[in-house]
Amino acid sequence: MFSKACEYGIRAVLFIAKQSLQDLRPNITEIAKAVDSPEPFTAKVCQQLARENVIRSRKGPNGGFYLEKNSTLKLAEIVAVIDGDAIFNGCGLGLRECSSEKPCPVHDQFMVVRNGLKHMCENTLVMDLASNLEEGETFLKV
């Protein structure tokens, strides 16, 4: 459902958050390798997220990307920066006009999926997911 850029962005931020729990600041090469993403694409996505203050970056020998340990960043904020809100409001078939008055063939079923995804993204803290990664309960790369 997410664009490839958004998938990479979410994975990158989760890795950054996991590293931040250990007071580490990974660089682009480390992030790309950890989330199995092309390095130039990872750099572009991370720079976009840093410009929008979703993640933080520091230059220099001890530099890299990080999140504050007490961050309240939610998945929805990452999605908003990379994909916008179309995934939460758009038509399941990509039609320009789709509404309750003029529904596409999957309108009602897709609304349930779309609303569930929106609820999950708006109520999921990145640092909670990072803690699950840290404890080995979940994985970013198999």
113 within some domain: yes
> Sign of the CA dihedral 127, 24, 41, 82?
positive
Number of domains in the chain: 1
> Rounded to an integer, what distance in angstroms lies between the CA atom of residue 114 and that of residue 106?
12
107 within some domain: yes
140 within some domain: no
> Rounded to an integer, what distance in angstroms lies between the CA atom of residue 18 and that of residue 25?
10
pLDDT band at 1 (very low <50, low <70, confident <90, very high): confident
At 59-117, the pLDDT tens digits run 988 899 999 999 999 999 999 999 998 889 889 898 989 999 999 999 999 999 999 99
| The pLDDT value given to residue 34 | 95
CATH of the domain at 84: 1.10.10.10
At 19-56, the pLDDT tens digits run 999 999 999 999 999 999 999 999 999 999 999 999 99
142 within some domain: no
| The pLDDT value given to residue 85 | 87
139 within some domain: no
CA distances from 109 to 87, 119, 122 (A): 15, 16, 20
Q: What is the value of pTM for the model shown? A: 0.91
69 within some domain: yes
Domain assignment of residue 78, given as a range: 4-134
